[in-house]
Amino acid sequence: MKKISAGILPYRFKNNDLEVFLVHMGGPIWAKKDLGAWSIAKGELDASEDALTAARREFKEETGIALEEGLQFVELDPIKQRGGKTIYVYAAQVDFDPGKILSNLFSMEWPPRSGKYQEFPEVDRAEWFPISVARDKILKGQVGFLDQLERLKQS
């Protein structure tokens, strides 16, 4: 079965400048990384759900923020990652406080080969970034979503 993920890319305008909301991946592997360590809040689809439903669910799981009903979403063109996964992203103009995120947890063996398992937040922080800064922060395979959003908002 093909790997498919879906996510939400919130955006806002601050002083007429486009900003996007990104999450920093949690866990010890990403803890000290910044550039290229931020992502669109996303996750894999369950077999029975459509991409937008999955994107909303994953956004809530990773941030603790439930996006209000009736919010307008713009579907961006999906991007296939080098590893073969296809990502569907929906952009929405919305604003909220990133300091109030509350992520779900995952368990992993840490330190490696220690036999000890620890829990870590899937997302350890979130932030609004001007689109020019976001280009350096986001995982390289997701930059195309920023390009699409910027083109849409300039037209």
pTM: 0.94
The CATH label, of 3.40.50.300, 3.90.79.10, 3.40.50.10880, 3.30.360.10, for the domain at 4-154 is: 3.90.79.10
Tens of each residue's pLDDT in the chain, 155 residues: 579 999 999 999 999 999 999 999 999 999 999 999 999 999 999 888 999 999 999 999 999 999 998 999 999 999 999 888 999 999 999 999 999 999 999 999 999 999 999 999 999 999 999 999 999 999 999 999 999 999 998 76
Return the closest-CA partner of residue 5 out of 80, 87, 82, 73. 87
d(CA 59, CA 28): 21
